[in-house]
Amino acid sequence: MSEIAPQAPLLSVRQLEVVYHDVATAIQGVSIEVAPGSIVAMIGSNGAGKTTTLRAISGFLPAEDVAVTDGDIVFAGHSLRGMLPHQISRLGVVLVPEREKLFGTLTVRENLDFSLTPKRRALRNSVLDYFPRLAERQKQVAGYLSGGEKQMLAIGMALICEPKLLLVDELSLGLAPIITNEIMQILRVINRDLGLTMLIVEQNVAAALRIASFGYVLENGRVVFKGEADRLLGHQDMREFYLGDGNAGSYRNIRQYTRKRRWWG
Amino acid sequence: MAKPSPYLLVSYAQTNRILPEPYQRAVVGILVAAILLLPAFSGDYFLHLMNLCLIAVIGAIGLNLLTGYCGQLSLGQASFMAIGAFSTAILAQRYGMPFFVAIPASCCAGALVGFLVGLPALRFRGIYLAITTLAMHYAIIYVLTNYQAIVGPSASAGITVPPPSIGGFLLTSERGWYYALLIAAAAVLMFSLNLARSYIGRAWVAIRDRDIAAEATGVNVPRYKLLAFTVSAALAALAGSLGAYFTTVVTVEEYTLELAIIYLAMIIVGGMGSIVGSVLGAVFITLLPYAVQRGFDALPWHFGTTIFGVQQAAIGAAIIGFLLFEPDGLIEIYRRIATYFERWPFRYREIKASSAR
Amino acid sequence: MELLVSILALGSTYALLAAGIVIIYKASRVINFAHGELAIVGAYVFHSAGFLTGTTLTALSLATSIVVAAAASAFFGVAIYLALMRRLLGRPTFVAAMVTIGLAIILKAAIVVIWNSRSVGIPIGRQAVYNFAGGGRITWIDVISVLTCVAAFTALAIFFQLTRLGRQFRGAAENPLLAAQRQVNINLILAIAWGVAVFSAALAGVLFGSRSMLSPQSTIIGLSGLTAALVGGLDSLRGAAIGGVLVAAATYLTARLISPTLAETVPFLILLAVMSWRPWGLFGTVEEINRV
């Protein structure tokens, strides 16, 4: 599982640079590769640029007056830079956003059927198999679902779009750890069953690296660390800064922590 | 000792100067001289147009304080002007009040109505407010229509206003009006420029940019919104009042929704949130119909009476064109040109401060 | 009874106008101030197409004008979106609303220039269907108005509730970026919204023109339509239908019982009442007030 497939990556982001409103540089030269069939995790603290990277890939940024100023995003031979969001998702790059991930005024069924074409009917049944809880609630208005059910519905909606690459942003946001783990496990099952490639962004580093095969660590708009998931899990700095099981006991160690962190970023 | 850079500001007073740089003061000086000497070189027709422009300038500055600075979209400008015009007509014609009583009284009447129309603004923003002011406009016009039917010689004929006398001097000639209106417009201009750079002006801009944040930083939002409506309506009433004296007759048919939209067009074309921009926009939009007429007179084929439609269409096209291609208006074009020459021979790329606007 | 029919007939015109305003508002949060102008221009086009060949309306020329006006209005709506509104995506919605004000001025000027401000009527359905004993009557156009309105609202309801495109439309109205991510072309949705809205405006204009004379001043019906939409709630189609009938009833009764001049102001008085009592309308969503 920890090996990178030798073939060409499905998605490669090269030296991406993103500038907000002509003033603030949010991403400065991020390069990421996602091998087909793998789960890749992008981790980092708030404001590291993970979400911005995902939104750049899925073409959301121009609508928010945010410009991709440099670099390239190549998916299966197509350059995604400058494409419109619906064109990108029709190519098979489908995003599950961080918030506002479903249509709150539509029912669960209508949400699932949003991008349904006659060809995709079988797909809807398999989605309901993965998330049996949704099957029970099809008549409900989606805005009144619980947080976990909303997340399941959002992933289900994305799956019906026939993704080749699923981008999942902050799956764990606002969810209990037990639900987060449950959904993460379902994602892993889907990855195995369908061979669906995934790029997930997480603050819950341990949970993300447990299902991912490869991880990128972002800080201040740069990739500061990357490697196979189990290497990252075992790495001393990772344990100390992100996994929270380093042995910083005393004040002296905390001082060292801040110094080290500054050195790193 | 080295001369300090002109761009180095060492006090708040310097950042707030209206004309920070020497060349600007020179330009304004030449402009003022040209404006004062204008009647010596031009005929009555041109001065008449200039007088219309000056009245429009006062109204447009009033609207820009409300919409451009405080961000309260209003379609009530024509009704405020109607209030001013009718107050003047009543005071001057029925009660024989002199010019210097009728004008301030009309402004007060306008301010009062502005205050009342502004009350819904405490509840609504944006388009909902525009719709409310639109309804207010029709309600006010309905009242005035009935009033005109009772007071005037007949329902459709308006109320005549006697020519004003200033210090025993009867104001009838275009040239006399030019200087009188020039003084009024200049006073309004100076008043507004100073208001805009005071605490009040900054409070308005804060409300426009984000009312919740303005409230959080200590701006009394309801008070300043109402103040914006009051000041704006008072200036509109002043414009309406001067217009009533100038045209010597007041009819309610003059103050249509189209007039309110034309004033909106002036500040869009001139530049939202810029006092000088409203002057440019007022002149541009006032002269546009005459320019269109001149332009079509030169063409071989004639529109006849439908030229009116073409003039209207030109105003509509100006609104759309500026909103689409130059949303910051004529003043932005001027700024770009000025910056180009100021920085020459260096190129200069401006950073957009925010995308929110 | 005759009063009721007249109110329903006028109300269906207002309801159709309101429906167009609601569709555009739902899709893009833009209030279309040019709706009355679009309706009256549509009616003028209908009239011109009908009288292109002769001085009387025949079945053939009527069919021509229906086809021409329907096609032209739908096409014009799409063109407005593609030429103007598309460029304003991502700008504050009141900017788009001001652009529609500019459009309104141009359209009204077009009536002056193209049709020379001529006052025209569309002579269809003037015959009586039923005469009352007291002297009142129901005309064909009354029946046609009400039936057209019911048919249009039924069609819209079916479209929004049962079809995939309608579902996508509702989703896009709520969250356009997510809809785009779910493979929906937002530009297509908005272009359709404008096409349908301008088509319904033209329909309302034709119905209005077959009841009263058309002139540049008739464009004021747009504001009655806007009032109807606000009474019902700007984001509710059901509200548009009910609001249309309510505004028509109030206008008609005032004209009958109090005075015709006051009747012109009645929509705005209703507007003020709605804004002070229930600004989100009868069926609208409360949060909408702070969205624009």
Q: Residue B79 and residue B230: Cα distance in Å, rounded?
A: 13
Interface contact B347, partner A, CB < 8 A: no
Q: Residue C31 and residue C13: Cα distance in Å, rounded?
A: 19
CB contact under 8 A, B355 and A21: yes
**B185 — pLDDT class (breaks 50, 70, 90):** very high
Q: Is the pLDDT of residue B163 over 80?
A: yes
CB contact under 8 A, B354 and A21: yes
Q: Check residues B343 and A187 and name the one with the higher pLDDT.
A: A187
Q: What is the pLDDT of residues B117-129, one digit of tens each?
A: 888 778 887 888 8
Q: Is the pLDDT of residue B340 over 90?
A: no
**What percent of chain C has a predicted confidence (pLDDT) above 90?**
34
Q: What is the DSSP secondary-structure string of B168-234?
A: TEE--SHHHHHHHHHHHHHHHHHHHHHHHTSHHHHHHHHHHH-HHHHHHTT--HHHHHHHHHHHHHH
| Assigned token pair, B32 | 């003022």
Q: Give, to the nearest 10 degrees, the angle between helix C221-232 and helix C35-50.
A: 130
Q: Would you state the pLDDT for residue B306?
A: 77
3-state secondary structure of C95: helix
**How do the residues of chain C divide into helix, strand and coil, expressed in percent and rounded to 5?**
75, 5, 20
Q: What is the pLDDT of residues A61-84, one digit of tens each?
A: 777 777 777 888 888 888 888 888
For residue B59, CA distances in Å to B55, B63, B64, B232, B263 come to 7, 6, 9, 8, 7
**A3 — pLDDT class (breaks 50, 70, 90):** very low
**B204 — pLDDT class (breaks 50, 70, 90):** very high
Interface contact C162, partner A, CB < 8 A: no
Q: Would you state the pLDDT for residue A244?
A: 65
**Dmax (CA) of chain C:** 62
Q: Mean pLDDT, to the nearest integer, of B165-173?
A: 78
Q: Point out the least confidently predicted range of A19-28, B296-305, C87-96, C169-178.
A: B296-305
Q: Would you state the pLDDT for residue A21?
A: 74
**B222 — pLDDT class (breaks 50, 70, 90):** very high
Give strand ranges (E) for chain C.
Answer: 128-131, 137-139
- How many CB atoms lie under 10 A from the CB of residue C131? 11
Of A103, A105, A117, nearest to C178 by CB-CB distance is A103
Q: Mean pLDDT, to the nearest integer, of B246-265?
A: 91
Selected residues 217-256 of chain B with any CB under 8 Å from a CB in chain C: none
Question: Which single residue is written with the structure tokens 């009938």?
Answer: C245
Q: Mean pLDDT, to the nearest integer, of C19-37?
A: 92
Q: Is the pLDDT of residue B161 over 60?
A: yes
Q: Would you state the pLDDT for residue A51?
A: 85
**Mean pLDDT, rounded, of chain B:** 87
Q: What is the DSSP secondary-structure string of B268-296?
A: HHH-TT-HHHHHHHHHHHHHHHHHHHHHH
**Mean pLDDT, rounded, of chain C:** 87
Among chain A residues, the shortest Cα distance to B354 is held by A21
Q: Is B170 left (phi over 0), alpha (psi -120 to 50) or beta?
A: beta
A vs C, Cβ pairs < 8 A, gives 71
**What percent of chain B has a predicted confidence (pLDDT) above 70?**
93
Q: Check residues B350 and C147 and name the one with the higher pLDDT.
A: C147
Q: Would you state the pLDDT for residue A247?
A: 56
Q: Which of B83-87, C256-260, C279-283 has the highest mean pLDDT?
A: B83-87
Q: Would you state the pLDDT for residue A258?
A: 57
Q: Would you state the pLDDT for residue B353?
A: 44
Question: Which amino acid is it at C230?
Answer: L
Q: N- to C-terminal Cα distance for chain B?
A: 44
Q: Residue B21 and residue B14: Cα distance in Å, rounded?
A: 10
Q: Would you state the pLDDT for residue C218?
A: 86
Interface contact C130, partner B, CB < 8 A: no
Show the CA angle centred on residue B73, arms to residues B69 and B79, nearest 5°: 110
Q: Is the pLDDT of residue C264 over 70?
A: yes
> Which chain C residues have a beta carbon less than 8 Å from that of A86?
180-181, 183-186
Q: Would you state the pLDDT for residue B354?
A: 40
The answer to whether B252 and B232 have CB atoms below 8 angstroms apart is no
CA C287 from chain centre, in angstroms, equals 24
Interface contact B355, partner A, CB < 8 A: yes
Q: Is the pLDDT of residue B171 over 90?
A: no
Q: Check residues B33 and C132 and name the one with the higher pLDDT.
A: B33
Q: Mean pLDDT, to the nearest integer, of C175-199?
A: 90
> Which chain B residues have a beta carbon less than 8 Å from that of A64?
355
Q: What is the pLDDT of residues C199-230, one digit of tens each?
A: 999 999 999 988 888 888 888 899 999 999 99
Q: N- to C-terminal Cα distance for chain A?
A: 29
3-state secondary structure of C75: helix
The answer to whether A4 and A214 have CB atoms below 8 angstroms apart is yes
**B68 — pLDDT class (breaks 50, 70, 90):** very high
Q: Would you state the pLDDT for residue A7?
A: 67
Which secondary-structure segment (H or E) carries A175? Answer: none
Which secondary-structure segment (H or E) carries A54? Answer: helix A50-57
The answer to whether C51 and C45 have CB atoms below 8 angstroms apart is no
Interface contact C178, partner A, CB < 8 A: yes
Q: Residue A206 and residue A210: Cα distance in Å, rounded?
A: 6
Interface contact C272, partner B, CB < 8 A: yes
Q: Mean pLDDT, to the nearest integer, of B109-113?
A: 95
Q: Mean pLDDT, to the nearest integer, of B248-266?
A: 91
Q: Is the pLDDT of residue B356 over 50?
A: no
Q: What is the pLDDT of residues A159-178, one digit of tens each?
A: 888 888 999 888 888 888 88
What residues form DSSP beta bridges with C130?
A: C138
> Which chain C residues have a beta carbon less than 8 Å from that of A89?
180-183
Among chain C residues, the shortest Cα distance to B126 is held by C292
> Which chain B residues have a beta carbon less than 8 Å from that of C105?
258, 261, 312-313, 315-316, 319
Q: Is the pLDDT of residue C120 over 90?
A: no
Of C31, C95, C290, nearest to B323 by CB-CB distance is C95
Long-range CB pairs of C45-54 (<8 Å, 24+ gap) are: C45/C69, C45/C72, C45/C73, C45/C202, C46/C122, C46/C202, C46/C205, C46/C206, C46/C209, C47/C120, C47/C122, C47/C209, C47/C214, C48/C115, C50/C122
Q: Mean pLDDT, to the nearest integer, of B258-264?
A: 93
Neighbors of chain B with 3 or more C-beta pairs under 8 Å: A, C
Record the pTM. 0.86
Q: Residue A158 and residue C92: Cα distance in Å, rounded?
A: 30
Q: Would you state the pLDDT for residue B150?
A: 81
Q: Mean pLDDT, to the nearest integer, of A73-100?
A: 86
Q: What is the pLDDT of residues A121-134, one digit of tens each?
A: 888 888 888 888 88
Sheet with strand A66-75: strands edge to edge? A24-34, A11-20, A66-75, A78-79
Q: What is the pLDDT of residues C91-102, one digit of tens each?
A: 888 889 999 999
3-state secondary structure of B71: coil
Q: Identify the DSSP state of A211.
A: H
Q: Would you state the pLDDT for residue A5?
A: 47
**A212 — pLDDT class (breaks 50, 70, 90):** confident
Q: Would you state the pLDDT for residue A1?
A: 41
Short-list B265, B250, B257, B258, CA closest to B137: B257
Selected residues 86-105 of chain C with any CB under 8 Å from a CB in chain B: 87-88, 91-95, 97-99, 101-105
Q: What is the pLDDT of residues A197-206, one digit of tens each?
A: 999 988 888 8
Q: Residue A148 and residue A175: Cα distance in Å, rounded?
A: 6
Q: Residue A200 and residue C27: Cα distance in Å, rounded?
A: 31
Q: Which of A5-19, A73-87, A109-123, C5-19 has the highest mean pLDDT?
A: C5-19
CB contact under 8 A, A89 and C186: no
CB contact under 8 A, B355 and A23: no
- Count CA within 13 A, CB hemisphere, residue C242: 13
> Which chain B residues have a beta carbon less than 8 Å from that of A65?
355
